[in-house]
Chains A and B, each alone.
Chain A
């Protein structure tokens, strides 16, 4: 998870899970949106961005079967960001 200001990105394994997760979090009162997540190792993907308690949001997603993506920040390739 990468926190920027008040928003936190939660990478998920697919766009379907991203939209499903977004709707789920909205039902829990979160402000959430879906966006693209670029990972240099695994490639294209999607993320849910949430405002608020990201740890709890992550827990809600996992409890509801949303598959989160493995982040690969430790094994990023070279090149310009």
Chain B
């Protein structure tokens, strides 16, 4: 099987992750941060090591690292915990529904208003539009670092610098970039960084991270036991406890620690280069095929993410993906939970087929994929001739 659906979740996971989860279930089964017995403390050490690894990768402190169940939960926790009635927000026109539906829901409840800023080829133009939309009551900009559908990168650090100059907080959805793009929180352009653990960080499903990189702590969305200050009626005012109530996903987090270690050893830069090389190879070959419409840009280091959206002309994206599945190739068709991005690119009727790469993909798989696409095109042409 050829797995080209890494933007949904990376697969396969590195062997070190498999071993770590196995080890967690066999040897670190106690509840971390609740008891004081040896097994609880040993498990807590393992969980802390994951915070340390994430802090190393994103250059922050371990206590800033909050574990969630996925990127969507991280985004919900940050946005809903920060905005107040009467606030204004700005998002981009490439947002995933993880951001779009949250702000739309808050708007419908009469809590906030928001504007959508267009993303352009030119970073300066993009930043200018975001700045142009700032109002006196703008509390937060929430912006993806890269489109999950088309791979366009968004200059979130430049937007963040501008936001801070104007007294606005900056949240970044790093769903497609964490582990692939170098993100340096010590530069202080980003206040809240949201990411899944199961994509570019190669952790198990059910893991996510929110990094709080400023002094303004979101109100907790979920309240309950933290293993600290347990006689107090209110949630602690310190991280990570304030935003991390209930038992954490211990085995997932221990697996995520191994995944982040895999990324640190291979470096985001090398992983990105590898995937972009495959992406470029695929792009140039698809460009030469009659009957293929590509929506993504020619992959350029620094400008794009390693994924391509395309359609076979005259075919529904779902049908194309089904036919590719018959060749044992996994891709993602449809709308990718990204209504705004599809509207922007006028693919909101057809959807697109998305190919996304991971660390374990090889050039031979790109070759096989291209042969499969050519086979589908040839067979469709034959069908049409008969009609």
Residues of A within 8 A of B (CB): 13-17, 19-20, 34-36, 39-46, 65, 67
Which of B55-74 touch A at CB < 8 Å?
Answer: 61-63
Residues of B within 8 A of A19 (CB): 44-45, 48
Q: Of the candidates B63, B226, B231, which one forms a contact with A17 in the assembled complex, judged by CB atoms under 8 Å apart?
A: B63
Q: Quick one: closest B residue to A38, CB to CB?
A: B36
The answer on a CB contact under 8 Å between A67 and B238 is yes
The answer on a CB contact under 8 Å between B63 and A20 is yes
The answer on a CB contact under 8 Å between A14 and B228 is yes
- When each residue 10-43 of chain B gets 1 if its CB lies under 8 Å from chain A and 0 otherwise, what string results? 0000000000000000000000111110000100
Given contacts A19-B45, A44-B228, list 19 more A-B pairs with CB under 8 A. Answer: A14-B226, A14-B227, A14-B228, A14-B238, A14-B240, A15-B44, A16-B48, A16-B51, A16-B63, A17-B63, A19-B44, A20-B48, A40-B231, A43-B230, A43-B231, A43-B232, A44-B227, A45-B228, A67-B238
Which secondary structure dominates chain B's binding surface? loop
The answer on a CB contact under 8 Å between B61 and A15 is no
Residues of A within 8 A of B62 (CB): 16, 20
Complex alpha-carbon distance, A59 and B238, angstroms = 20
Residues of B within 8 A of A39 (CB): 231
Count B interface residues, CB 8 Å.
Answer: 25
20 residue pairs A–B, Cβ–Cβ below 8 Å = A14-B227, A14-B240, A15-B32, A15-B227, A15-B228, A16-B62, A16-B241, A34-B41, A35-B41, A42-B229, A42-B232, A43-B228, A43-B230, A43-B231, A43-B232, A44-B228, A44-B230, A45-B228, A45-B229, A46-B36
Q: Quick one: closest B residue to A33, CB to CB?
A: B41
Is B236 interfacial (CB-CB < 8 Å)?
yes
The answer on a CB contact under 8 Å between B36 and A35 is yes
The answer on a CB contact under 8 Å between A41 and B33 is no
Complex alpha-carbon distance, A45 and B283, angstroms = 55
The answer on a CB contact under 8 Å between A13 and B236 is yes
